[in-house]
Amino acid sequence: MKKLLWIPLLLLLTFVGDRIGGWVLKQVVEKSQFRYTRLYKGQAEAEVLLVGNSRGLIFYQPHIEAITEKNTFNICYNGMPIDVARRLIEDYFEHYTAPQQLLLDVTMCDRSNNPLMAGFNMYTPYSQNLEELILDSIPKSGYAGKLSHLYRYNSEVFQRTLAYMNKSDESWTNERVMNDFLVEEAKNLKPYHISYDTVYSGELRAIAQLCQAKGTQLHFLVNPYYPPFAQSINNLDSIKQVILAETQIPVKDYSTLLKDHQYFSDYQHTNTEGSKKYLDQLKLDGILD
């Protein structure tokens, strides 16, 4: 029996260590200035809510705040799928006064992203919506997060949370300018297909209904692409039509607004200068007012 003693000891130590580690990491997360921590800590009160994936991160907040004199909150994340975005929006509406405007880049509706969804495991203690989504969509990850609290923090989302321990991410921007290689390659782009699924329409509809119920003005947008790339997308128009039919909200298309490669860091992302120019256009068009 003495030889077996190490096994329960190991299980006990692993469990206790996991819980202590999980608790410590939770404290770390709560001290961060990262956007989702601010969302759940009640520090995200805003008049304009910005939603998207990495292409939504180009909603450069300092510039929007300068031209509109309104507070903004950006819940975008690289590769953010619409189902996670919807839960974050719902959480936002549950915790705060409804924003005046919600800007959503619909090109985020191009994927489901289970690995990223698993990254939001760390926010399940604060969000019933996220917990239900994760348990429903990726039960293995969901239950693993309940079994091991350390596992909840095993994600890039947590690493970003660490990166923003002492600084806010509100002024994040992309300064890079597209390199010559990409400009040259753009001449030979193959047709690009956005993998839009009708499931995403349901999520957009739910967001639209929520905004309508709360009196928030909702704008569906297509943020700028590098024009040769925008032209290579073979189903953008049909996606816009589907969204209009499903939600009764027209999609405002800015995909070809910016022509010069100097405004882009790559085919799908504007840099700071490009973002400013785009946001100025939104202001001119009355979308940002």
Partner 1 sequence: MIFNSLAFLVFIAVFLPLYFSLKGKARLLLCLAGSYFFYGWWNYYFLSLIVFSTLIDYFVGLRLENEQNQNTRKNLLLTSMVVNLGFLGVFKYFNFFIESFTEMLQGWGYEGSLTTLSIILPVGISFYTFQSMSYTIDVYYKKIKVERDFIRFATFISFFPQLVAGPIVRASDFLPQFQKDRHFEWDRLTAGLGQILWGFFKKVAVADSLAPFVDQCFAEPGGFSSLHLLIGIIFYSFQIYCDFSGYSDIAIGLARILGFDFPDNFKTPYFSKNYSEFWTRWHISLSSWLRDYLYIPLGGNRGGSFGSWFFIALFMLLAVVMTGWLWLGIACLALAAWSFWYKRQSDKHERTIFNYMNLMVTMLLGGLWHGAGWAFVFWGFLHGFYQIIQRLAGPIWNKMLDAIRVPNLLQNAIAILLVYSSTCLAWIYFRAANEPNDFLTANEYILKIVSLENFNFGSVINKFWVVKGFLLIGMLLLVEITNLRFTYYKIVQTNPIFRVISFAILLWLISFMGSFGSNSFIYFQF
181 is an interface residue for partner 1 by CB under 8 A: yes
Binding residue (CB under 8 A) for partner 1 from 71, 112, 148, 256: 148
Determine contact, residues 222/105, Cβ cutoff 8 Å: yes
171 is an interface residue for partner 1 by CB under 8 A: no
Pick 13 or 244: Cβ nearer partner 1: 13
Q: Which stretch binds partner 1 (CB under 8 A): 159-167, 220-228, 231-239, 256-264?
A: 159-167
Binding residue (CB under 8 A) for partner 1 from 94, 136, 156, 197: 156
Cα(26)–Cα(275) distance, integer angstroms: 34
Cα(252)–Cα(269) distance, integer angstroms: 17
How many residues lie near partner 1 (CB under 8 A)?
A: 28
165 is an interface residue for partner 1 by CB under 8 A: no
Cα(45)–Cα(26) distance, integer angstroms: 22
Q: Which residues pair with 74 in a beta bridge?
A: 50
159 is an interface residue for partner 1 by CB under 8 A: yes
Binding mask 100-119 for partner 1 (x = CB under 8 A): ---------------x----
**CA angle in degrees (0–180, nearest 5) for 77-149-86:** 30
**DSSP symbols for 2-46:** GGGTHHHHHHHHHHHHHHHHHHHHHHHHHH---HHHHHHHT----
151 is an interface residue for partner 1 by CB under 8 A: yes
Cα(8)–Cα(225) distance, integer angstroms: 57
Q: Which residues of the shown chain bind partner 1 in the complex (CB under 8 A)? A: 3, 5-6, 9-10, 13-14, 17-18, 21, 115, 141, 144, 148, 150-151, 153-154, 156, 159-160, 163, 176, 179, 181-182, 185, 266
